[in-house]
Amino acid sequence: MHNYSGSTFFLVLYPTLAMYTKRIWLLLLLIMFLHSCAYVYQVQVGDIDDRESFEPTPFVIRVSETGVNLEEVGAIAQALGSDSGKEGAEFLKMFQMGPTTGNPVYNERYAEDLLLLIKQKCPDGRVSGLTSIREQKKYPVISGEIVKITGNCLRKRSS
């Protein structure tokens, strides 16, 4: 067992600990700001056709829009000493009501082209096994509000 005297602690261990503490803080900060947590809000599976007369071709479509968390904006504004920023965020929130999933986005039509995108992926076949997932990738203040569609395009097998 090591028996460090008080001077050894201050001369050797304390600077080492301080160095590692700085690195740990840096690491924690990086984890806080660089990672993104993923949340699922809704999953839906459509009818599946697996008849042998069709050949399935899988496809994936993903559309997304940036969401803004006004509560976090307000909290950061308050932490920086700006009460008006928090008030502004609260004022904006008054216009965003109703049931929602995820954070508000400023282009509410971002998922409207999904049908067109499915048509583009499967212009001449039947679409089967459609799975739609509404998910969110969350970063500090902003988020990615995502709709993901996976499915199979069925085309008649040439015999």
Partner 1 sequence: MKWNMLLIMAFLATGITGCTFLKSVSLTNIPQERSKVVTATREKGIIFYFNFDTDYADELSADLRSQCEGGVVSGIFTKFENTCYVPLFCFYTVDRVTATGYCKQ
Query: Which residues bind to partner 1, rule: CB under 8 A?
Result: 35-52, 129-131, 133, 135, 148, 150-152
Q: How far is the CB of 84 from partner 1 (least distance, A)?
A: 31
Q: How far is the CB of 48 from partner 1 (least distance, A)?
A: 4
CB of 29 to partner 1, least distance (A): 16
The pairing of beta strand 142-156 with beta strand 54-68: antiparallel
Residue 49: HSE in the Cβ half-sphere, 13 Å Cα cutoff? 16
Select 65 or 135, whichever has its Cβ closest to partner 1: 135
- Using DSSP's 3-state secondary structure scheme, residue 122 falls into coil
Count CA atoms within 13 Å of residue 39 on its CB side: 10
Instruction: Identify which of residues 135 and 145 has a Cβ nearer to partner 1 in the complex.
Output: 135
Closer CB to partner 1, 125 or 129, in the complex:
129
Question: Quick one: which of 36, 56, 61 has its CA closest to 136?
Answer: 36
